[in-house]
A and B are shown apart, each in its own frame.
Chain A
């Protein structure tokens, strides 16, 4: 079946602009996660949703970052007033449930470049 999909695959923007990154999880998966990965580093947790609600947003770096999942399926990560330090690959993952042993399946990521 279809895996996790993310759009766009690449996004180049200028400092100070607003961007939205979209994630389509695997059908039927109730949990959805956002991570970001900088070059040479492992993915860093940002936020996860159980259904429509954010169950843990402790990884969001500041209030410029916001994510929604209004219908419990597709999610959008929104970044306001982008900074050069926001440049990274933003990964989305989904799992059937949000348990600690549930396998997370990752999408291909959105490569964000802030000029």
Chain B
């Protein structure tokens, strides 16, 4: 079983749609949680950290359920520029080692 699992998609949605991505992690000792965004043939970039209380950044909302070991990302009012791969990421230890999911591909169409 992979340590971080995501539905690879692709998710094809029209502009303005709301889309949700889910992710599960297997190690209950996981300490920190993130969503990264990766454009085609580019490097990953941090989209947002995920906190237990849930957090929002503009059109993006991230939630964490530690009991279920489940992380989600909600994107409202999708834009063409949101088209990318979204990577669910966890950090297990005290150091900076990140464990990435496979990524979920999103394609927003006009």
Which of B4, B49, B102 is within 8 Å of A101, CB to CB?
B49
Q: What's the Cα separation between A40 and B85 when bound, in Å?
A: 10
A-B contact count (CB 8 A): 65
Candidate in B4, B31, B96 with the most chain A CB atoms within 10 angstroms: B96
Does residue A109 face the partner (Cβ distance < 8 Å to B)?
yes
Q: What's the Cα separation between A106 and B37 when bound, in Å?
A: 12
- Closest Cβ of chain A to B40, distance in Å, is 12
A-side interface residues, number (CB < 8 Å)? 28
Does residue A95 face the partner (Cβ distance < 8 Å to B)?
yes
Which residues does chain A contribute within 8 Å of B98, judged by CB atoms? 33, 35, 43, 45, 104
Interface of A is mostly: loop
Q: A100, B101: Cβ atoms under 8 Å?
A: no
> A48-B96, A108-B43, A109-B43 in contact; A100/B31 too (CB < 8 A)?
yes
Stretch at the interface among B53-61, B69-77, B87-95: B87-95
Q: A104, B101: Cβ atoms under 8 Å?
A: no
Q: What's the Cα separation between A41 and B4 when bound, in Å?
A: 12
Which residues does chain B contribute within 8 Å of A104, judged by CB atoms? 46, 96, 98
Which residues does chain A contribute within 8 Å of B99, judged by CB atoms? 45
Q: A100, B102: Cβ atoms under 8 Å?
A: no
Which residues does chain A contribute within 8 Å of B22, judged by CB atoms? none
Q: What's the Cα separation between A50 and B95 when bound, in Å?
A: 9
Which residues does chain A contribute within 8 Å of B32, judged by CB atoms? 100-101
Does residue A102 face the partner (Cβ distance < 8 Å to B)?
yes
Q: B94, A100: Cβ atoms under 8 Å?
A: yes
Which residues does chain B contribute within 8 Å of A43, judged by CB atoms? 44, 87, 98, 100
Q: What's the Cα separation between A98 and B53 when bound, in Å?
A: 24
User: Which of B1-55 touch A at CB < 8 Å?
Assistant: 4, 8, 31-32, 42-46, 49
Which residues does chain A contribute within 8 Å of B31, judged by CB atoms? 100
Write the residues of chain B forming the contact surface with A, with a CB cutoff of 8 angstroms: 4, 8, 31-32, 42-46, 49, 87, 89, 91, 93-103
Beyond contacts A43-B98, A99-B94, A103-B46: 4 other A-B pairs, Cβ-Cβ < 8 A, are A41-B103, A42-B100, A43-B87, A98-B95
